[in-house]
Amino acid sequence: MQRNYQNKFYGKAQNLVQHLTREYNRILKDYDVIVMPTLPAKAFKLPSKEHSVYETLKLELDMIRNTAPFNATGHPALSVNAGLSEGLPCGMMIVGRMFDDLTVLQVARAVEKTFGDKP
């Protein structure tokens, strides 16, 4: 791949990660944590074998759009139980400042004490 694309896509991805990191750092200057749904939609049936690889991949990538950025930026993030939606479990994602894992864990523990740790 390197020969064919001369690091073009890798460089672009690294620039996007730096931009995301700066933006989340900017937001987290004013807030201890960011709270959001772990997944952007409720669970759905797995695609059938008749679906193309493209259709399946699109569904899968849509489902990780709230979690994937923090895998790239390195911000501490975790998901806790947020109850049920239409009988299905849903999660609350808690994201913190860089290197402030303790605050994320403390918020998660407070949520679990308040709402329980089971759907």
Q: Which residue has the tokens 């937001």?
A: 27
User: What is the domain range of residue 31?
Assistant: 2-115
104: Cβ contacts below 8 Å, ≥ 6 apart: 33, 76, 77, 78, 94, 95, 96
Nearest to 37 by CA among 73, 80, 87, 86: 80
Position 15 scores a pLDDT of 94
Give the chain's domain count.
Answer: 1
Count of CA atoms in the C-beta half-sphere (13 A) of 102: 0
- pLDDT tens sequence for the chain (119 residues): 456 666 788 889 999 999 999 999 999 999 999 999 999 887 777 778 888 888 888 888 888 999 999 999 999 999 999 988 888 888 999 999 999 999 999 999 999 999 887 77
